[in-house]
Chains A and B, each alone.
Chain A
Amino acid sequence: MTAYLSRRLGLPRRQRDPLPGFGLGLGLTLFWLGTLVLLPLLALVSRPWQEGLHRGLLAFAHAAHDGRILSALWVSFGSAVLAALFDLVPGVLIAWALVRSDIPGRRIIDMLVELPFALPTAVVGITMATLYGPTGWFGAPLARLGVHIAYSRTGIVLALMFIGLPFIVRTVAPVLRNLPADVEEAAAILGASRAQVLLRIVLPALHPALVTAFGMAFARGIGEYGSVIFIAGNQPFHTEIAPLLVVIRLQEYDTTGATLIGFVLVAVSLLSLAGISLVRRRLSRGVG
């Protein structure tokens, strides 16, 4: 219509976008993103204010002084950071082994890495609690040594590590694959030791990918509920995670209280993801 009009009026024809179907593509993207992601988030973010701005602020002030909420947030964020950090080393090693080496059964290992994506998280939690519980295969000998993994913060970190590992491997592997092997070989020919190759050649090139991988594993860990509640012990102030507190509030029919904690989880997650993305861009610029 506009094209027809501009031709009739002798106006210069608007430059068509060189991408075919740009308008349709953008429309569909915005529609799906809007209905699937933004709308539910908007509903969550707006809920605490529905009974008036004043009531919402009061609820926040109350929550900020509630030691139980703060402890739960601390447990959730702290465990997620630790789990994502501890995942980096095995994650990079597995990715490296999958890309560079030709170990037998590589394809099977490749498939196994994705298993944590597919398993219902409750199954993960129950299995881990059984393994690491006081009578479990690993738990019983460890208990004799005085190490308790299940029903402690260690258990939470362990469950989150399991859930987060594929994020590291799947983010790092493609980058490693694109990193030409000749660079490593050249460095070796020029006399670099293996450690030097790893530290000076491979790792710097991986930095942005590592930060992304860490961010994804971390973000996944914050919201994880199913696996954690079975292995955490769920003791208030000690091993109670923020998502469990959300469920507890809902059980009290306190929707505002529940969304409030949800709001904080979303806000802090967004902030940390933004920070991570900033760091990654800095790193990419340094490398590129």
Chain B
Amino acid sequence: MALRPVRAWAATGLLNVSYDPTRELYQDIDRSFSAAWARQHVGAPVQIRTSHGGSGAQARSVLEGAPADIVTLGLAYDIDILAQNGLLAPDWQKRLPHNSTPFTSTIVFLVRKGNPKNIHDWPDLIRDDVQVITPNPKTSGGARWNYLAAWGWALRQPGGTPDKARDYLKTLFAHVPVLDTGARGATNSFVQRGLGDVLLAWEDEALLATRDIGPDKFDIVVPPLTILAEPPVAVVDRNVKAHGTAEIAQAYVEYLFSEEGQKIGGKHYFRPVNPTILAAFHDRFATTDTFDIASLGGWGTVQKQHFADGGIFDSIYTK
């Protein structure tokens, strides 16, 4: 029997391993990328599957052999771990524009409708009558952004030192009644169970909650200074080589930076990095001052300092 080229018959499969809040975003991206790819490559359709979960847990599953062609995770540290284990090049973050981050987000405060506790800025979170909901930074990537937003803000105050920032965080976490293990769990505690006065959340999650879940229940407060959250994307070199999907995986990640991809991101409440397209969405994204993770020393340093066993986060919980 003559061998026929299989590719013409079966759709190429592509697996994107992503984190929790991108479910709706990548559903949309996958659909429109497949259509665009099919237009350019007649007879070679692509079928994309995307898996979601906590960013760290997803990275570990790729580390243990999940056949991801692409990873789109909540923080660069989780992809760094994959690079350290040889799954992709150490300089992966330089291979795509904007630190390989097609969409950014930021950390905002979600409060009850009408802002009854009058919460506007970070110092308001440690007032006696305020309870804060944020997940455990040890188990949730999103919570690490929350924590670092608070840390960076405290450092940047007049006379701010690491010691003072640590004191602020210690007080802040004394106002956290429940440490959920993931961002979605924390959102549930705040939204469904009515716990706490303010939820620290990704801007995209907060916008989703206010626009789609309960427009009459919540308000978003954007603090005057917060962190620029950069959830990056990368092609997993070792896996695409094994699957023969290098070309299409590269096309997929580049598509995220294209005009079309950027628009889809904006539609799902992620801030597009393309300034023109960001401007088109100016009515949903408040302007605010931000600092990035590099200004705090980068993920390698931050992870070791704050979230390693016995790090600063552990030290604020003492008996």
Contact = CB atoms under 8 A, between A and B. Distances in A.
B314 interface: yes
A126 B81 CA distance: 32
A102 interface: no
Contacts of A126: 188
Contacts of B56: 251
Nearest to A225: B181
Contacts of B57: 251
B193 A237 contact: no
B181 A234 contact: yes
Interface stretch (B172-180, B199-207, B239-247): B172-180
A233 B178 CA distance: 4
Nearest to B59: A253
B309 to A, nearest CB: 6
Interface string A165-190: 00000000000000000000000000
Contact of A237 (B81, B307, B317): B317
Contacts of A234: 136, 178-181
B194 A133 contact: yes
A133 B195 contact: yes
Contacts of A252: 138, 307-309
A171 to B, nearest CB: 32
A131 to B, nearest CB: 10
Interface string A215-236: 0000000000000011001111
Interface in A239-285: 244, 247-254, 257
Interface residues of A, number: 28
A135 B60 contact: no
Nearest to A136: B193
A280 B178 CA distance: 40
A67 B314 CA distance: 11
Nearest to B137: A251
Contacts of A154: none
Nearest to B311: A252
Contacts of B195: 133-135
B136 A130 contact: no
Interface residues of B, number: 26
A135 B193 contact: yes
A248 B177 contact: no
A254 B188 CA distance: 29
Contacts of B181: 229, 234, 244, 247
A250 B188 contact: no
Interface in A184-217: none
B157 interface: no
A141 B314 CA distance: 35
Interface string A142-168: 000000000100000000000000000
23 contacts: A67-B319, A68-B317, A129-B189, A129-B193, A130-B193, A133-B195, A135-B195, A229-B180, A229-B181, A233-B178, A234-B178, A235-B179, A236-B179, A237-B317, A237-B318, A247-B139, A248-B136, A251-B56, A251-B138, A252-B138, A252-B307, A253-B81, A257-B309
Interface of B: 56-57, 60, 81, 136, 138-139, 177-181, 185, 188-189, 192-195, 307-309, 314, 317-319
